[in-house]
Amino acid sequence: MCAALSGLRRAPPGPPPAPDAREVRLGDLPLVVLVGVTGVGKSTALDAVRRVRPDWRVLPDRRVVTDAVMIEPLAGRAVTDREERFRLTAQYRETHPGGMAQALGELLADTAVWGRGPVFDGLRGLEEVQFAADHYPAWRFVALGAPDSVRVRRLLGRSDAFDQVTVAGGGAAADLQTRLLALPGVQDVFHPDEVRALADLTGEGFTADDVLARVKIVVSERRNYDPFGAEAFLRTLPPERALVLDTVALPPAGVAQAVEAWL
C-alpha cells in the first residue's frame, strides 16, 4: 500500500482477525460513512463536524483509496482525468460489485492509528450503499445531497486540481448551450431550462470550457452512480443507522448540528 494509506493494508487470504486484535477489518468496525456524489458538500460538512467532534479519526478519502486499490492496479499509472477514472472504477466494479464499499471493507486497519470507530468520506450510489449496509452491519451512514445544477456551480466555485476532464475543441460562450446539449447523457440529468441556465453561467465570469468540463463531470458521475436511489434506500434503514441531509436547505453549521445530535 502507498504511504497515503499508512495504517491500512489489504487483508491476506484466510479468516478475518479477531475483533479485539490490533489490526481489524474495516468491515467489522463501526464506521461513520459519508455518502454523496461530487459537489454535494461532503468536505465542507466534514470540516464543520470536525470542529464539534475533534476526536473523529478520518480515514484517507475515497480518492486516495481509489488510486491505491482500483486505478493504479488497473491502469499501471496515476490517472487524473475524471472521465477516465469513472471508466476504470466501472471496470473494477465488474469483478467487485460493492465498488468502494467492498474495497474499503476488506482493508485491515491498525486500530492504534485509526481507533475503533473511524470516519470515511465517502460512498456513492445505490450499489455501494446497499452493499455496505448488507455486508457491514456496524456501519452508519450520513447522506448529503444537492441538486445537480447546484453541484455544477459548486464545482466551478472551488479550486480543486482533481476536477480535471478533457473537453473537445473550445469555442465561444455563445455556442455553449449547443456544446452542452451535445454531451452524451446530458438530457438524462438536466432539463432544457437547466441547460440554458448552465450556459448562462458564462455571464458570471466562468469560461465556456470550465462550465462544460464541470457539467461533464456531473453527467459522467451520474452515469455511474445513482445518488437519489442511494438516499431512498438509506431512508428504509432504521433512523439510528442512516441520516439523510440536504446541503442546500442546511448550511455547514446546520449539517454539523444535525450530525452531532444524531450521533
Number of structural domains, the chain?
Answer: 2
**Model pTM score:** 0.87
Same domain, yes or no: 163 and 186: yes
Per-residue pLDDT of the chain (263 residues), as tens digits, is 556 788 999 888 888 888 789 999 999 999 999 999 999 999 999 999 999 999 999 999 888 999 999 999 999 998 988 889 889 998 999 999 999 999 999 999 999 999 999 999 989 999 999 999 999 999 999 999 999 999 999 999 865 444 455 555 555 555 899 999 999 999 999 999 999 999 999 999 999 999 999 999 999 889 888 999 999 999 999 999 999 999 999 999 999 999 999 99
**170 Cα distance to chain centroid:** 29
Number of alpha carbons in the 13 Å side-chain half-sphere of residue 82: 22
Q: Is the residue at 2 inside a domain?
A: no
Backbone angles phi, psi at 196, to 5 degrees: -60, -40
Same domain, yes or no: 48 and 127: yes
Q: Is the residue at 5 inside a domain?
A: no
Domain region containing 233: 14-148+225-262
- CATH number of the domain to which 255 belongs: 3.40.50
Same domain, yes or no: 58 and 142: yes
Q: Is the residue at 1 inside a domain?
A: no
Same domain, yes or no: 253 and 128: yes
User: What does the block give as the cell for 170?
Assistant: 473550445
Q: Is the residue at 4 inside a domain?
A: no
Same domain, yes or no: 217 and 230: no
Alpha carbon separation from 254 to 33, 47, 99, 145, 207 (Å, rounded) = 18, 12, 30, 14, 32
Q: Is the residue at 6 inside a domain?
A: no
Q: Is the residue at 8 inside a domain?
A: no
